[in-house]
Structure 1
Amino acid sequence: MVLLRSARFIHTVVTGIPKLIKEQVIPRHVAALQGPLLRYIHVLRPIPGFELSTNEEGIRLEKVEKQEANKDKRLRLIHESKTRPPLIVLLPWLMSKPKHIKKFSNYYLGHGFDVLSVRTTPGQTLWPVKGSQLVAADLVSFLELNPQYDQLLIHGFSVGGYIWGEVLVRLTELGISRGSPSPTPYEALAARIRGCIWDSACEFTELPRGVAKALFPNQNMLQNALESYAKYHMKVFHEKATQHHIRASQLFHSAAIRSPALLLFSKSDPIGTAKANIALHKEWTDFGIKVYTKCWEKSAHVAHYLNHPHEYIAEVTSFLQSINLIPGEEKNKTKMKVTNV
């Protein structure tokens, strides 16, 4: 009975999370303390959950009236130049804080890239039809509406792999609804993606544990209660939720967009397990994809940078050099300093 009541309470909390999400604005006095690099960063927030950071001033959002509901206008950017630097799409882990993602953004901004961070809440993940699938659809729209970004890199953490799977589902649906255009939505996007980095990628079967640890990282009793509820949720709501998780996972594994990939994982991670990542490496290699891996003996879920900062940056830099997104001998002075933040 106690577990049932706990599950009902947790269900109420989780389903209400999307309503609590508000667009964040960085106060000027706070931005002034963020270091010399960020003083020249321009941040655009077209819709809740989407944040675009750039080093250049010649980019802005299209003006939209408050009462206007056309989301495409909110996602379309106005560029003064015809070309843009490479765009990094960050797909953070659940409940990650801006300070956690900031160090990754700074690294890419330091190399002159634009950075798009796309956040997802636990509630959106548990209810994909009205949650994560809408996020994926918005991401696809953003990429289609801004073709100036002709060099893309995807850097996903944990559940970010699932969100990318939903992006692939969306591309499939668009291909069917549009008939047989040339190129297809898949082909058009694949031509722009230079590579993918997956940090602590996990199977959808580990979603209950991942959601529980994200919401209650230091409370074992609540973790166990939420994990039990999430497993119950996936069994009871198969048609409304779980079948969509399975479909997204299938497309993620099928590597429909076959760009080079870097897998970062550890033997001690119980969520993004080494076994699952090694199996993923074999699957993608069999498809002919060039896959790089880095496996640490001991490192917590999505904490590989925190535990091994120098090695992490070295692996990412080497990967970017291998796909020609940065030169072999990068001497950019604004590169991120390696710190355990």
Structure 2
Amino acid sequence: MAASARIFSSANFNSHVKNVRFQLPCRNRQRLHLRSRQRVSKLSLGSPNQRFLSLTSFANFSPAQFSVSGGCLDRIFFGTKENSCNWNFAPTRISDGPHGGLFDDEKGPEVTVVVLGWLGSKPKHLRRYVEMYNSKGIHAVTFVASVTDVLWFDLGKKLEERIENLAQELAEWLSNSSNGRDRFLMFHTFSNTGWLAYGSILVNLRDRKDLMEKIKGCVVDSGGDPNLDPKVWAAGFTTALLKKNSSAIYPSPDKSTGPQSGNMENGLKTEPKETFSIEPWMLSTFEKLFSYLLNLPFAKEKLLRIVSCLSTDQPHCPQLYLYSSGDKVIPFQAIESFMEQQRRAGKEVWCFNFGPSPHVDHYRTFPDVYTSKLDSFLKKCLSSVASPMPS
């Protein structure tokens, strides 16, 4: 028997968005628990033959205008079938390469970078970053969130519990060194989804001052907007759903300043002339939805607690903001304002503006510049725990 999930139906909510109804595919959900102790939570929301999305009563939009396959909906709402939290351990010995090894012996400290993906990302999208860190002798653990994860974070405890489990696992790793080597953490976040996940981890760890001192740096790629702006959330969800059909993956034509084009690997993508007819409708719909959701007392309280921690209780370690004026999801002015706030609070802030580069696309578009900025930042962050990397 099919069961539908309604996102609010009060009269107050209907004044913003009318009759939002999702009918989701059946799927067994597997949640990662600590140290390979796994719990399985089964969620039955329909039969395999009832894989469709029904949206009605929105600004004269007809669902018949587009169709989405069941497999596509699986990927959109439930993400990848792979584990969303994966450890990738660096080899003990690092051969000479373009990045150079930073920790390449069995006696020095161990460093793990926590790579927190953008909304709708998959482990395969983070692979190039994992490989870059592993080539320096740095372990990497990846964490991704699907659209459903984030919606359920606002409405329930699903994502919150996953982040709590990740924070506990990181605390265990920092505290339980079997070989006597010192252990340290870094973070590399993408978009506001990864950045807020980082803030949630800090909330879970901030009572452990001994562990907070082991966080040596944070890289914020295309994120760092502390404002609970429905337009930003709408842009993020629309981009996550449309993926390659979103205009946000293309550069803004009026943002011409940035790194020299000679540093680009594949060149800036050109936005096709065809319009994305569904995109304006989705932006408007999600903006109405989040105008309501972000003002719900319990959701607003949770998010403000995370933003407050990011604003005032970040570890005393350097922060690197990699952003662009051409980002169509996160306003660069909001990032620059937050960076200035952090500087006034006495934090060491590094930054680089990639100009026309699209949202979370800076490494692909400007790989040489991105790698250079990251290498310099790592030298600064880890200079107290390891010998400097080769120039």
Aligned mates of 2:314, 2:184 — CA distance in 1: 18
Aligned pair 1:164/2:220, yes or no?
no
Aligned to 2:241: 215
TM-score, normalized by length of structure 1? 0.70
Give the 3 Å change call, closer, same or farther, for CA 192–329 of structure 1 in structure 2. closer
Question: Which residue of 179, 182, 201 maps to 2:223?
Answer: 201
Alignment match, 1:233: 289
- Rounded Cα–Cα distance in structure 2 between residues aligned with 1:10 and 1:202: 33
Distance 1:145 1:16, change over 3 A: same
- After superposition, the Cα gap between the structure-2 partners of 1:244 and 1:223, relative to the gap in structure 1 and judged at 3 Å, is farther
What is the number of residues matched between the two proteins?
Answer: 272
Among residues 52, 72, 86, which one is paired with 2:111 in the alignment? Answer: 86
Amino acid at match of 2:88: S
Given that 2:319 and 2:348 are in contact with CA atoms closer than 8 Å, whether structure 1 keeps it comes out as: yes
Q: Does the CA contact (< 8 Å) of 2:113 and 2:141 recur in 1?
A: yes
Q: Could you tell me which residue of structure 1 aligns to residue 188 of structure 2?
A: 155
Identical columns (%): 22
Counterpart amino acid of residue 242 in structure 2: F
- Residue 40 of structure 1 is matched in structure 2 by none
CA-to-aligned-CA distance 1:237-285 (integer Å, 9 cap, x gap): 3134344223322322224323111000011112222211211111111
Residues 309, 52 of structure 1: alpha-carbon distance in 2 compared, 3 angstrom cutoff: same
Distance 1:223 1:136 in 2: 31
Counterpart among 198, 212, 233 of residue 190 in structure 1: 212
One-letter amino acid matched to 1:200: S
- CA shift in 2, pair 1:171/1:328, >3 Å: closer
Matches within 5 A, 1:50-65: 50-56=85-91
Give the Cα–Cα distance (whole angstroms) in 1 for the partners of residues 75 and 22 of structure 2: 13
Where structure 2 has 5 or more consecutive residues not aligned to the other structure, the ranges are 1-15, 25-51, 55-72, 93-105, 247-275
- The equivalent of 2:388 in structure 1 is 328
Q: Distance in 2 between matches of 1:10 and 1:292?
A: 45
Is 1:8 paired with 2:4?
no
1:96 alignment partner in structure 2: 121
Q: Which has the higher helix share?
A: 1
Q: Given residue 172 of structure 2, which amino acid in structure 1 is its aligned partner?
A: L
Instruction: Check whether the contact 1:7–1:226 (CA below 8 A) recurs between aligned residues.
Output: no
- Aligned counterparts of 2:387 and 2:367: Cα–Cα separation in 1: 21
> Match for 2:390: what amino acid?
E
Map of 2:272 onto structure 1: none
Task: Give deviations 1:9-58, integer Å, cap 9, x for gaps.
Answer: 4998699879845642xxxxxxxxxxxxxxxxxxxxxxx4210011359x
Distance 1:19 1:216, change over 3 A: closer
Q: Greater CA deviation, 239-248 or 145-154?
A: 239-248
Report SS of the residue matched to 2:186.
Answer: strand
Alpha-carbon deviations, 1:189-229, whole Å to 9, x = none?
21110000000014342122111111113153443344334
Q: Is the 8 A contact 2:329 2:359 kept in 1?
A: yes
- Partner residue of 1:318? 376
2:111–2:139 Cα contact (<8 Å) kept: yes
Asked if structure 1 preserves the Cα contact closer than 8 Å seen for 2:91 and 2:137, the reply is no
TM-score (norm 2): 0.62
Separation in 1, partners of 2:205, 2:23: 33
Q: In structure 2, the residue corresponding to 1:321 is in which secondary structure?
A: helix
Q: SS where residue 289 of structure 1 aligns?
A: coil
Distance 1:10 1:281, change over 3 A: farther
Structure 1 stretch displaced more, 10-19 or 190-199: 10-19
- Residue identity matched to 1:53: N
AA at the equivalent of 1:212: T
Distance 1:99 1:284 in 2: 32
Question: Within 2, Cα distance between the matches of 1:226 and 1:202?
Answer: 24
Given that residues 189 and 220 in structure 2 are in contact (C-alpha distance below 8 angstroms), is that contact kept between their aligned partners in structure 1? Answer: yes
The aligned counterpart of 1:105 is 130
Change in Cα spacing, 1:111 to 1:56, as seen in structure 2 (3 Å) is closer
Unaligned ranges ≥5, structure 1: 25-47, 58-80, 173-183, 332-341
Contact preservation (8 Å) 1:200, 1:273 = no
How far residue 152 of structure 1 moved from its aligned partner, in angstroms, is: 0.6
Contact 1:16 1:123 in 2 (8 A): no
Q: Which residue of 1 aligns with 2:159?
A: 132
The CA distance in 1 between the partners of 2:143 and 2:202, in whole Å, is 16
Superposed displacement of residue 120, structure 1: 1.2
Distance 1:233 1:243, change over 3 A: farther
